[in-house]
Amino acid sequence: MGQPRGLRARWQDLRERTRPVHPETERALADRWAALPDHVRTPAQSLGRHAVGCEGTHGVFPKCNLTCTPCYHSADANKVRVDGGHTVREVSRQMAYLRERRGPYAHAQLIGGEVSLLSPDDHAAALQAMRDAGRSPMSMTHGDFDPEYLRALVTAPDGGLRFDRVSFAAHFDSLMRGRRGAVRPRSEAELNPFRERFVQMFRDVGAETGLRYYLAHNMTVTPANVGQVADTVREVVGMGYSMMSFQPAAHVGDERRWKESYAAVDVDAVWAELERGLGQRVPYEGIEFGDPRCNRLGFGFLLDGRWHPFVDPDVPAETAARDAFFAHYGGIAFSGTPPLLLVVKVLRAARHHPGDVRTALRWARSLLRRAGGLRALVRGARAGRLGLMTFEVHSFMDAEHVAPAWDMMRRGIAAEDPQLRATQERLAACTYSMAHPETGELVPACAQHSVLDPVENVELRRLLPLTVV
């Protein structure tokens, strides 16, 4: 006799739930890899092999209560009313389209102006809409809000937690104006107490409620503060953030806030300052994420104050493990998957590649040797001196190049001008996209900020005027 129908259905459901890679993820990754320019299809490339890319919202709450030089927002951004209903509707619409186009899982940023201008309930509703679409959301903020706001955001009406974990990226730099207690900071060092206070707020709320969190630190870099990057790294690296991201400024947004030339600061200059601050090399060639002219990443961990990459590009045992990971496990969603389910998925994938066990052991042995051995790792973990740390430099492009390059791309024209051709290559390899279900497009962030934001914000002024008549 065959299995009862109900048992067969449950077994099939279990097989589908433990399938290593969702079929829609396979499709989305294959599409992303096929669309990449040839020069970024390297063995180290994670885009299209492990990640479909990051996602962001647009036109949801452009208003901000700080003024910065430079500012990527258009001149109309602060003339739009923050409206929670509009935000949640637009976020839901955009996330549904991203779910349709890019599969059941991705990282997405709740971004616009300042996210804490939303009421805690509206903020929470937007995060839930992102989660409902299979996204892992990160709220983008200047960090100038109080613990009461955070408690209200994460606490449900019954007193329990709305979310078991939240992610925030806080932007701190001396180019920002209007922060309470540091209205016009004269140096990056002046902001260190505010950076520490932001982390402590999450520690306190976490201790009270059991909330888990991931915190990133963002910083815009211009000629005015590039010489302070190294000192900032030294101070911030041990504060409790899990990522430090730097953005060399580009000519995008409100021209009234371009106070100087930003062409002098590039990704190489900022990376050199990062390494100077850490007092060590930070290899970025081991794992790539898009075009290295746009993104430069160091994935690794801190142990007793020293940073260690997960993949040293100069060690064959480690690059071999990277290659096996991308080839055999790249499509598995490692974050956001329950631990037991993740183990089963990995084991199902490993069943077809028994040689990967030896590859993984060689990688682990090499990494432990670099880190000082297993005992050092255990001691560091017990003492709280072990933690994940990602370093990133993300370079936006000037609007004067993006606008014509994007227009030509939409018309299927490959630019002959070297500058515009390079811009098109970078746009094609962009790791950060916004959804436009009304046109059926996924728009690179640089094109969104340079070309589409100004038009959208003019329309939003009509839809959401500051003064309701």
Q: What is the pLDDT of residues 116-154, one digit of tens each?
A: 999 999 999 999 999 999 999 999 999 999 999 999 999
The CA angle 247-253-255, to the nearest 5 degrees, is 115
pLDDT band of residue 420 (cuts 50, 70, 90) is very high
Query: Which residue in the block uniquely carries the two structure tokens 């500058």?
Result: 419
How far apart are alpha carbons 459 and 248 in whole angstroms?
29
Fold entry, domain 51-316+387-461: TIM Barrel (3.20.20)
C-alpha distance from residue 207 to each of 92, 142, 202, 211 (Å): 31, 23, 8, 7
What pTM, to 2 d.p., does this model score? 0.94
3-state secondary structure the chain: CCCCHHHHHHHHHHHHHCCCCCHHHHHHHHHHHHHCCHHHCCCCECECCCECCEEECCCCCCCCCCEECCCCCCCCHHHECCCHHHHHHHHHHHHHHHHHHHCCCEEEEECCCCHHHCCHHHHHHHHHHHHHCCEEEEEEECCCCCHHHHHHHHECCCCCECCCEEEEEEECCCCEECECCECCCCCCHHHHHHHHHHHHHHHHHHHHHCCEEEEEEEEEECCCCHHHHHHHHHHHCCCCCCEEEEEECCCCCCHHHCCCCCCCCCHHHHHHHHHHHHCCCCCCCCCECCCCCCEEEEEEEEECCEEEECCCCCCHHHHHHHHHHHHHHCCCCCCCCCHHHHHHHHHHHHCCCCCHHHHHHHHHHHHHHHHCCHHHHHHHHHCCCEEEEEEEEECCCCHHHHHHHHHHHHCCCCCCCHHHHHHHHHHHCCCEEEEECCCCEEEEHHHHHHHHHHHHHHHHHHHCECCCC
All structural domains of the chain with their residue ranges: 51-316+387-461
Whether residue 375 is predicted with pLDDT greater than 80 in this model: the reply is yes
How is residue 393 written in tokens? 């430099």
Whether residue 263 is predicted with pLDDT greater than 70 in this model: the reply is no
pLDDT at 462 (0 to 100): 93
Pick 102 or 264 by higher pLDDT.
102
CB 177 within 8 A of CB 191: no
pLDDT tens track for 292-326: 999 999 999 999 999 999 999 999 999 999 999 99
How far apart are alpha carbons 62 and 59 in whole angstroms?
6
pLDDT tens track for 42-85: 999 999 999 999 999 999 999 999 988 877 777 888 899 999 99
Whether residue 230 is predicted with pLDDT greater than 60 in this model: the reply is yes
pLDDT tens track for 149-181: 999 999 999 999 999 899 999 999 999 999 999
Whether residue 2 is predicted with pLDDT greater than 60 in this model: the reply is no
Q: Is the peptide bond between 70 and the residue preceding it cis, with omega within 30 degrees of 0?
A: yes
